[in-house]
Amino acid sequence: MGLEIATTKLEDAANWGRKFSLFTYPFVTACCGMEFMSVAAPKYDIARFGAEFPRFSPRQSDLLMIVGTITERQGPVLKRVYDQMAEPKWVIAFGVCASTGGFYQNYSAMPGADQVIPVDVYIPGCPPRPEQVLDAIILLMKRVQEGRGHSQVRHKREQIARAGG
């Protein structure tokens, strides 16, 4: 019992650290990238939330931002980038194309990036305002703290399964 409380508190402390140091991998494919740059630039300043440092290697990042339309042809690439990221990891679908395919209904556009990988937070908008992005990051930070990110939940589920529960 005592050990359980200790590990829970340890997890809380780790999550507190994780939520203030989100390292972003920007998977930028389309015009939403301009808004992403705007969020990253000093006016809106994503650095205030500890997510200031885009890492252009999936192995060094824990937040995958899918910024823009995903085509069917890009599906395997996106999956591979996601698989290369170390656990725990989080995914934000930036803009309506990454969330649902947006106004594209045709042979080439994928109807939402969640067809290929799990997504934690969806940001609507075409493109979204920078404030929406910051709102999404705050929402994600809340989830990280509560351990409700998809990879955290998955990890917990695996632990329970391993313990024979």
Contacts to another protein by CB under 8 A? 72-73, 75-76, 79, 105-108, 110-111, 114-118, 150, 153-154
- Shortest distance, position 17 Cβ to another protein, whole Å: 24
Task: Tokens for 104, please give them.
Answer: 């594209």
Residue with tokens 């937040």: 63
How far, CA to CA in Å, does 73 sit from each of 41, 76, 83, 101, 157?
31, 7, 17, 14, 32
User: By C-beta, is 60 or 115 nearer to another protein?
Assistant: 115
CB half-sphere exposure, 153, CA atoms < 13 A? 9
- Category of 112 on φ-ψ map: left (φ > 0), alpha (ψ -120 to 50) or beta: left
CB of 149 to another protein, least distance (A): 11
Distance in Å, CB of 96 to another protein, minimum = 18
Closest to another protein by CB, 9 vs 154, is 154
For the CB of residue 115, give the shortest distance to another protein in the complex, in Å: 6
Identify which of 87, 69, 70 has the alpha carbon closest to the alpha carbon of residue 79: 70
**51/117 with CB nearer another protein:** 117
Beta carbon nearer to another protein, 26 or 149:
149
